[in-house]
Amino acid sequence: MIPELRQLIEELRADLADQPASLAWAEFGEGAAIDAVPVGLPADLRDLLLAADGLRGGRVELASTSTLAGMQYHLDYAPDFSSIPEDRAGWLVVGTRSDEPIFMDRGTGAIWYFPPNGTEWFMSDAFEELAPDLGSFVDYYLLGPGYAELTPADDRWFAYLDEQGLLDEDDEDVT
Protein backbone atom coordinates (compact mmCIF):
# COMPACT_ATOMS: atom_id res chain seq x y z
CA MET A 1 0.00 0.00 0.00
CA ILE A 2 1.36 3.37 -0.92
CA PRO A 3 2.08 5.75 1.97
CA GLU A 4 -0.39 8.40 0.75
CA LEU A 5 -3.30 5.96 0.88
CA ARG A 6 -2.24 4.70 4.31
CA GLN A 7 -2.06 8.32 5.53
CA LEU A 8 -5.51 9.11 4.10
CA ILE A 9 -6.99 6.08 5.89
CA GLU A 10 -5.39 7.20 9.18
CA GLU A 11 -6.69 10.77 8.75
CA LEU A 12 -10.22 9.61 7.97
CA ARG A 13 -10.19 7.14 10.87
CA ALA A 14 -9.21 9.96 13.25
CA ASP A 15 -11.88 12.27 11.84
CA LEU A 16 -14.56 9.58 12.07
CA ALA A 17 -13.60 8.87 15.69
CA ASP A 18 -14.59 12.45 16.48
CA GLN A 19 -18.05 11.79 15.03
CA PRO A 20 -19.68 9.10 17.21
CA ALA A 21 -22.76 8.94 15.00
CA SER A 22 -20.53 7.84 12.11
CA LEU A 23 -20.57 4.22 13.32
CA ALA A 24 -23.94 3.89 11.60
CA TRP A 25 -22.40 4.63 8.17
CA ALA A 26 -18.62 4.29 8.45
CA GLU A 27 -16.06 2.40 10.45
CA PHE A 28 -12.31 2.14 9.94
CA GLY A 29 -10.70 -0.47 12.15
CA GLU A 30 -7.28 0.01 13.68
CA GLY A 31 -4.54 -1.91 11.92
CA ALA A 32 -4.37 -5.61 12.69
CA ALA A 33 -1.50 -7.12 14.63
CA ILE A 34 0.89 -8.81 12.22
CA ASP A 35 0.27 -12.25 13.79
CA ALA A 36 -3.52 -11.81 13.38
CA VAL A 37 -3.31 -11.56 9.58
CA PRO A 38 -3.85 -14.99 7.98
CA VAL A 39 -0.82 -16.46 6.24
CA GLY A 40 -0.95 -16.71 2.46
CA LEU A 41 -2.99 -13.60 1.72
CA PRO A 42 -2.08 -11.48 -1.30
CA ALA A 43 0.32 -8.67 -0.36
CA ASP A 44 -2.20 -5.89 -1.12
CA LEU A 45 -4.79 -7.38 1.22
CA ARG A 46 -2.22 -8.08 3.91
CA ASP A 47 -1.00 -4.44 3.74
CA LEU A 48 -4.56 -3.12 3.95
CA LEU A 49 -5.37 -5.27 6.99
CA LEU A 50 -2.23 -4.02 8.71
CA ALA A 51 -3.33 -0.42 8.01
CA ALA A 52 -7.04 -0.93 8.76
CA ASP A 53 -8.49 -4.18 10.03
CA GLY A 54 -11.80 -3.77 8.25
CA LEU A 55 -13.17 -0.74 6.42
CA ARG A 56 -16.80 0.24 6.00
CA GLY A 57 -17.94 3.28 4.12
CA GLY A 58 -21.66 3.40 3.37
CA ARG A 59 -22.65 0.36 1.36
CA VAL A 60 -19.09 -0.86 0.74
CA GLU A 61 -17.38 -2.99 3.35
CA LEU A 62 -13.96 -4.61 3.23
CA ALA A 63 -13.28 -7.61 5.45
CA SER A 64 -11.39 -7.60 8.71
CA THR A 65 -9.14 -10.42 9.87
CA SER A 66 -12.07 -11.77 11.91
CA THR A 67 -14.63 -11.67 9.07
CA LEU A 68 -12.52 -12.66 6.05
CA ALA A 69 -12.89 -16.43 6.40
CA GLY A 70 -16.65 -16.14 6.91
CA MET A 71 -17.11 -14.30 3.61
CA GLN A 72 -15.62 -17.04 1.45
CA TYR A 73 -18.93 -18.93 1.18
CA HIS A 74 -19.83 -16.52 -1.64
CA LEU A 75 -17.39 -18.43 -3.84
CA ASP A 76 -19.74 -21.44 -3.70
CA TYR A 77 -22.52 -19.44 -5.36
CA ALA A 78 -20.59 -17.85 -8.23
CA PRO A 79 -22.31 -18.40 -11.57
CA ASP A 80 -20.88 -21.11 -13.82
CA PHE A 81 -20.01 -18.67 -16.62
CA SER A 82 -17.51 -16.84 -14.38
CA SER A 83 -14.02 -18.22 -13.94
CA ILE A 84 -14.56 -18.71 -10.20
CA PRO A 85 -16.02 -22.27 -10.25
CA GLU A 86 -13.11 -23.45 -12.44
CA ASP A 87 -10.47 -22.06 -10.07
CA ARG A 88 -12.08 -21.42 -6.70
CA ALA A 89 -8.66 -21.30 -4.98
CA GLY A 90 -7.61 -18.51 -7.32
CA TRP A 91 -10.21 -16.12 -5.89
CA LEU A 92 -10.81 -14.45 -2.56
CA VAL A 93 -13.87 -12.54 -1.33
CA VAL A 94 -12.44 -9.34 0.17
CA GLY A 95 -15.64 -7.48 0.95
CA THR A 96 -19.16 -6.61 -0.05
CA ARG A 97 -21.09 -3.93 -1.87
CA SER A 98 -24.65 -3.80 -0.55
CA ASP A 99 -24.26 -7.42 0.63
CA GLU A 100 -22.96 -8.58 -2.76
CA PRO A 101 -19.41 -9.96 -2.86
CA ILE A 102 -16.32 -8.15 -4.06
CA PHE A 103 -13.66 -10.58 -5.31
CA MET A 104 -9.89 -10.47 -5.63
CA ASP A 105 -8.11 -12.50 -8.28
CA ARG A 106 -5.27 -13.99 -6.25
CA GLY A 107 -3.04 -14.26 -9.31
CA THR A 108 -3.27 -10.67 -10.52
CA GLY A 109 -4.58 -8.82 -7.45
CA ALA A 110 -7.38 -7.33 -9.57
CA ILE A 111 -10.73 -6.58 -7.95
CA TRP A 112 -13.88 -7.99 -9.61
CA TYR A 113 -17.63 -7.92 -9.04
CA PHE A 114 -20.97 -8.83 -10.56
CA PRO A 115 -22.37 -5.49 -11.76
CA PRO A 116 -26.04 -4.73 -11.12
CA ASN A 117 -28.21 -5.89 -13.99
CA GLY A 118 -31.63 -6.36 -12.46
CA THR A 119 -31.00 -9.86 -11.13
CA GLU A 120 -29.32 -11.34 -8.06
CA TRP A 121 -25.53 -11.47 -8.36
CA PHE A 122 -25.42 -15.27 -8.27
CA MET A 123 -27.73 -15.41 -11.31
CA SER A 124 -25.92 -12.64 -13.15
CA ASP A 125 -24.54 -12.96 -16.65
CA ALA A 126 -21.82 -10.32 -16.18
CA PHE A 127 -18.60 -10.48 -14.17
CA GLU A 128 -16.28 -7.49 -14.51
CA GLU A 129 -12.97 -6.17 -13.29
CA LEU A 130 -13.41 -3.04 -11.17
CA ALA A 131 -9.81 -2.13 -10.39
CA PRO A 132 -6.35 -3.47 -11.21
CA ASP A 133 -5.49 -3.82 -7.51
CA LEU A 134 -6.91 -3.37 -4.02
CA GLY A 135 -5.21 -0.02 -3.40
CA SER A 136 -6.80 1.44 -6.54
CA PHE A 137 -10.17 0.04 -5.50
CA VAL A 138 -9.96 1.59 -2.03
CA ASP A 139 -8.73 4.91 -3.38
CA TYR A 140 -11.34 5.28 -6.14
CA TYR A 141 -14.38 3.24 -5.11
CA LEU A 142 -14.36 3.41 -1.31
CA LEU A 143 -12.67 6.77 -0.71
CA GLY A 144 -13.37 8.59 -3.94
CA PRO A 145 -15.73 9.45 -6.77
CA GLY A 146 -16.18 5.83 -7.83
CA TYR A 147 -18.35 5.22 -4.78
CA ALA A 148 -21.29 6.72 -6.70
CA GLU A 149 -20.66 4.22 -9.52
CA LEU A 150 -21.08 1.29 -7.13
CA THR A 151 -23.99 2.50 -5.03
CA PRO A 152 -26.72 5.11 -5.01
CA ALA A 153 -25.00 8.40 -4.22
CA ASP A 154 -27.62 9.53 -1.74
CA ASP A 155 -26.21 8.17 1.49
CA ARG A 156 -24.26 9.65 4.38
CA TRP A 157 -20.93 8.17 3.24
CA PHE A 158 -21.18 9.92 -0.12
CA ALA A 159 -22.00 13.18 1.68
CA TYR A 160 -18.99 12.66 3.95
CA LEU A 161 -16.68 12.03 0.98
CA ASP A 162 -17.99 15.25 -0.55
CA GLU A 163 -17.43 17.16 2.72
CA GLN A 164 -13.85 15.87 2.77
CA GLY A 165 -13.23 16.96 -0.83
CA LEU A 166 -12.60 13.37 -1.96
CA LEU A 167 -15.01 13.33 -4.90
CA ASP A 168 -12.91 15.53 -7.17
CA GLU A 169 -11.57 13.36 -10.00
CA ASP A 170 -8.48 15.59 -10.30
CA ASP A 171 -7.32 14.58 -6.83
CA GLU A 172 -7.43 10.84 -7.56
CA ASP A 173 -3.75 10.32 -8.34
CA VAL A 174 -3.01 8.60 -5.01
CA THR A 175 -2.51 5.11 -6.49
Which positions ≥6 away from 139 have C-beta within 8 Å? Answer: 5, 8, 172, 174, 175
- What pLDDT digit, counting tens, does each position of 37-82 carry? 999 999 999 999 999 999 999 999 999 999 999 999 999 999 998 8
The pTM score is: 0.91
Question: Within 13 Å and on the Cβ side, how many CA atoms surround 129?
Answer: 10
Taken in order of first residue, the domains within the chain and their CATH numbers are: 3-171 (3.40.1580.10)
